[in-house]
Structure 1
Amino acid sequence: MNPLKSGTLDLALLAALQDRPRYGLDILRHVNDRSGGLFDLREGSLYPALHRLVKAGWVESDWQPSDRGGAPRKVYQLTSDGREALHAKRQEWQTLRGALDALLCRALLTRALSRRSA
């Protein structure tokens, strides 16, 4: 299963923009590279998600000249509301991760104990 389809895409995009503004393909490469190949983000998912984040007021975009002299690029950056959203989503993720870790550890412990008593 692609982890981006399980509700983490917004968090991944906000995190990709936390350090600096980026253009679309740079965001795509950053997310895919930093995930160690776990994510397979594609343009067909990226741009609708960026549009949604712009509409939510978490990201703003602006056309800027290409650093290579080519066509202008649309560059995305976090707004102050986007930074707050990133913080909140990061905390939600940590809470969820903690709960899942507890469930998984409990399941492993239960399995180990049941094998011991068998």
Structure 2
Amino acid sequence: MIPSQMLKGILQGSVLAIIGQRETYGYEISQALARRGFGAISEGTIYPLLLRLEKGGLISARFLASDQGPKRKYYTLTNQGLQELAEFQISYRELRAAVDRLPGFDKEEDHE
């Protein structure tokens, strides 16, 4: 399980990455994160984050009919969201590389 403080730092970019794959809705986003090892992300975390992303202009939303009940709010990335995702990916790779250089994290160093 990923500690909540670590998760906080990467959840926004991770949600943008999921939405960047295709138009999707909140529950589907949380399920996609869970399948990728993020654990159970509560509705109390996902929906406020989606609202902040929408208000910040990073995603847009529209309601579509659902076969399984009320309309669902589907999200897509805006151009600003695409830019934010690209910046997150760069920052994440830099952070991952820095952590990998620490003693005990570098695979080559572990075998020396």
| TM-score normalised by L of structure 2 | 0.84
Q: Give the gaps of 5 or more residues in structure 2.
A: none
Q: What CA distance in whole angstroms lies between the structure 2 residues aligned with 1:16 and 1:91?
A: 16
Indicate how the Cα distance of structure 1 residues 72 and 97 shifts in structure 2: closer, same or farther if over 3 A, else same.
Answer: same
Contact 2:100 2:106 in 1 (8 A): no
What residue in structure 2 maps to residue 30 of structure 1? 32
Question: Aligned letter for 2:89?
Answer: R
Indicate how the Cα distance of structure 1 residues 100 and 65 shifts in structure 2: closer, same or farther if over 3 A, else same.
Answer: same
What residue in structure 2 maps to residue 19 of structure 1? 21
What residue in structure 2 maps to residue 45 of structure 1? 45
Quote the offset at 1:97 in angstroms: 0.6
CA RMSD, Structure 1 to Structure 2 (Å): 2.3
Between structures 1 and 2, the one with greater strand share: 2
What residue in structure 1 maps to residue 87 of structure 2? 88
Contact 1:65 1:71 in 2 (8 A): yes
Contact 1:20 1:77 in 2 (8 A): yes
Indicate how the Cα distance of structure 1 residues 112 and 79 shifts in structure 2: closer, same or farther if over 3 A, else same.
Answer: closer
Quote the offset at 1:4 in angstroms: 1.8
Quote the offset at 1:40 in angstroms: 2.4
Question: Aligned letter for 2:98?
Answer: A
| TM-score normalised by L of structure 1 | 0.80
Indicate how the Cα distance of structure 1 residues 107 and 17 shifts in structure 2: closer, same or farther if over 3 A, else same.
Answer: closer
Contact 1:60 1:77 in 2 (8 A): yes
Q: Give the gaps of 5 or more residues in structure 1.
A: 114-118
Q: What CA distance in whole angstroms lies between the structure 2 residues aligned with 1:72 and 1:106?
A: 46
- 2:61 aligned with 1:58: no
